[in-house]
Amino acid sequence: MRRSRSTRGVGTTALAMDPLTVRPPTAAGLYYPKDTDELRHALRTLLAGRTNADTAVPKALVVPHAGFAYSGPVAAAAYRTLASPRARRIRRVVLLGPSHRVRVRGLAMPSSGRFATPAGEVPVDRTARHHLRELGLAGIDDAPHRLEHALEVQLPFLQAVLGEFEVLPIAVGAAPVEQVCRVLDAVWGGAETLVVVTTDLSHHHTYVEAQVIDEQTARMILARRSDIPDAQACGASGLNGLMEAARHKALEVRLLERQTSGDTSGDDSRVVGYGSFALYEPA
């Protein structure tokens, strides 16, 4: 994962948070279709597999964030768990992911009032954003969000399965596990809130090497370990925070799908690993 040399601390940018300001799609046409009809067709195809036979709705999902052509099937396995009618109660998605281009100290939220995709606009949860600022747990910085694909590529999936909802996008940088866990605790909510953490797994190993590394990472996630290294997950900071919360809240973790880019592209020489997981609260 490459980042620019510029470093921005959360809360250092004095921005007026305007509910009418729209963060435009920047990954459309690169990571997923830019044309609305093509996007809807791609989503229907990806989501057409097995649906969630269980009536239980996950409290949290772990999903990858590469292009639809590479990690789309793995991400779709997670989003299909929201096919249950009970998922209609979800009205807010807390979305955490890494910042690939801008170094971040702590956690950064955008000032924008809405995030746009070719499928429409999603309002940002301004109440939750204000709450995290007041607690001093996350700041406002648009730079990490301006060109970030990891969070954006989740929105079309969420629009397809949830319809209308609010999103709280959070770029997670160099932050202690405890801080990320406190952020999640502060916005955990009830059945109306879904937590989505996005991370890819190992990067640029051979197919065989990636299988070994990603299997180890999957076991750590299933064990709710919160010490997963960056070399095994590019979104390790957000992932570890979720695992810490999962352990405290006794969430059950289920592996849904695991592949590499070699499985979808056919190139086994240097691959990226992808995994999707669902986390369930105790009955």
**Residue 4 pLDDT:** 37
What's the burial of 49, exposed, middle or buried (CB within 10 Å: 0-12/13-18/19+)?
A: exposed
96 beta partners: 170, 197
What is the residue-level pLDDT of the chain in tens, covering all 283 positions? Answer: 434 333 334 444 445 666 679 999 999 999 999 999 999 999 999 999 766 555 789 999 999 999 999 999 999 999 999 998 889 999 999 999 999 999 999 999 999 999 999 999 999 999 999 999 999 999 999 999 999 999 999 999 999 999 999 999 999 999 999 999 999 999 999 999 999 999 999 999 999 999 999 999 999 999 999 999 999 999 999 999 999 999 999 999 999 999 999 998 888 889 999 999 999 999 8
- For residue 11, the one-letter residue type is G
b/e for 130-158, b at 16 or more Cβ within 10 A? Answer: eebbeeebbbbbbbbbeebbbbbbbbbbb
pTM of the predicted structure, to 2 decimals: 0.92
**Calpha distance 194→188 (Å, rounded):** 8
**Calpha distance 103→74 (Å, rounded):** 27
- Reported residue count of the chain is 283
Q: Give CA separation, 72 vs 33, 45, 93, in Å.
A: 12, 10, 19
**Calpha distance 55→255 (Å, rounded):** 17
**Helix, strand, or coil (residue 145):** helix
**Residue 111 pLDDT:** 97
**Calpha distance 275→258 (Å, rounded):** 4
Domains and CATH numbers, the chain: 35-280 (3.40.830.10)
- Cα 70 vs. chain centroid, distance in angstroms? 16
Q: 207 phi and psi, to 5 degrees? A: -60, -45
**Helix, strand, or coil (residue 68):** helix
Cβ–Cβ under 8 Å, residues 177 and 245: no
Q: Pairing between strand 166-172 and 107-109? A: antiparallel
